[in-house]
Amino acid sequence: MLNKVRLLTPGPTPLPERVRLALAHDMIHHRKSEFKAIMHRVQEQLRVLFGTQGPVLPLSCSGTGAMTAAVHGLFAPGEKVLVIEGGKFGQRWRAIAEQRGLTAVSIEVPWGQAVTPEAVRQALDADPAIRGVLVQLSETSTGVLHPVQALAQLTRSRDVLLVVDGISGVGLSPCPMDEWGLDCLLTGSQKGLMLPPGLALLALSPRAWSKAEATASGCFYFNLPKERANVEKGQTLFTSPVSLIVGLEESLKLLLENGLDPIYRKQWALTMLTRTGVTALGLELFAPQDFAWGITSVRLPAGVDGNEVVRLAAERHGVYMAGGQDHLKGRIVRIGHMGWVDWADVLAGLHALAASLQEAGGHSGSRDYLEQGLAAYHAALAVDPGTPLPLTHA
């Protein structure tokens, strides 16, 4: 059967036509005036997206490269950092820190749950030698949203930097860097920014810049003070990902043309659609409380192979979702609803999930799961625009 392909993975995400056309522009040189003008315009857009007055550095790498740049640029070998380890990418923070020669102390959080600010406070009080907290805004492997705003209230009064991986969170749920007091915020191009993979973005607070200037970078390629000096001139330190930055300008126009609040309200509504539809199918949400706005993780019934469900959804219905990682392989399905995804895409994803689940030996719940999901979507959109959106939901 011929199906329209729908990409509902937690990255890469679909590309808007405007962005694809921008990516197809003729190549320009990264050291000439035309590109410099684009870089300066993009810089102003990025400051709005990140909610910061400081520069936002474009880096030619994936999001993991930006994580590496942050660790190598902000901490010297022998320093101690606290890692919030509640999923695959929390584990990645620890691996990067250890490779840099840092002492990594972990708070191990059960996968599917968020860290509590109290646990972080106790860890910081118990060990004054800790100089950084490394955490995900959105833990992509589990679909959990960590309370980074509350964590910043703990770190801003101490000699501790809060470093936040916003790879599957920036552009999807609120995270105003300066207002919340984050010291480092980073993201990648292939999720909420609606671009192909290969570009990362990183911003630092003034006190993080002071630390970066005093720290000898452990990496030749990632040198944050030199990158900042080049950004001020409309450049990058090494060869620029020209087409991705041209595409970034267009994607940021899309994101910002009506302000960020409508984007966040749409993402919240899509999250309510997905979670309501999944629950109506009789399935269990893997992150029942503190959940991300761009991805929903679904626990599958015993005896149902999640890898088979993902395969059937793609082959039979043209819907590409993601499975679990590490010990969650075959146990959960992750449905991405971020970036250039709308309600119709999510409804198609729920239908593919229900049909594939049944074919893989499971059973579906209510027959009106699509109607229930769509009703939740409209109810979320009907909330008065002046009403603050929740950052967690019980």
Overall pTM > 0.95: yes
Domain shared by 196 and 278, yes or no: no
- Give domain status of residue 40, yes or no: yes
Within-domain flag for 218? yes
Q: Under the phi-then-psi rule, with left for phi > 0, alpha for psi from -120 to 50, and beta for the rest, what region is 194?
A: left
The answer to whether position 387 is within a domain reads: no
Is there a single domain that holds both residue 33 and residue 130? yes
What CATH number does residue 128 fall under? 3.40.640.10
CATH number of domain containing 336: 3.90.1150.10
Q: Which domain holds residue 129?
A: 17-256
50 domain-assigned: yes
- Domain identity same for 233 and 266: no
pLDDT at residue 391 in the model: 55
pLDDT of res. 1: 61
CA atoms within 13 A on the CB side of 35: 20
CA distance 272 to 378: 9
* Residues 203 and 328 grouped into a single domain: no
Residue 279 CA to chain centroid, in angstroms? 24
Give me the tens of pLDDT residue by residue for the chain, a chain 394 residues long: 678 999 999 999 999 999 999 999 999 999 999 999 999 999 999 999 999 999 999 999 999 999 999 999 999 999 999 999 999 999 999 999 999 999 999 999 999 999 999 999 999 999 999 999 999 999 999 999 999 999 999 999 999 999 999 999 999 999 999 999 999 999 999 999 999 999 999 999 999 999 999 999 889 999 999 999 999 999 999 999 999 999 999 999 999 999 999 999 999 999 999 999 999 999 999 999 999 999 999 999 999 999 999 999 999 999 999 999 999 999 999 999 999 999 999 999 999 999 999 999 987 778 999 999 999 999 999 987 777 777 543 3
Angle between helix 260-280 and helix 343-359 axes, rounded to 10 deg:
20
* CA angle 189–194–197, rounded 5-degree value: 35
CA–CA gap between residue 333 and residue 355 (Å, rounded):
14
Residue 389 inside a domain? The answer is no
The answer for 330, left when phi > 0, alpha when psi is -120 to 50, beta otherwise, is: left
Same structural domain, 229 and 322? no
Give the count of domains, the chain: 2
Position 394 in a domain: no
Q: Are 197 and 66 in contact (CB under 8 A)?
A: no
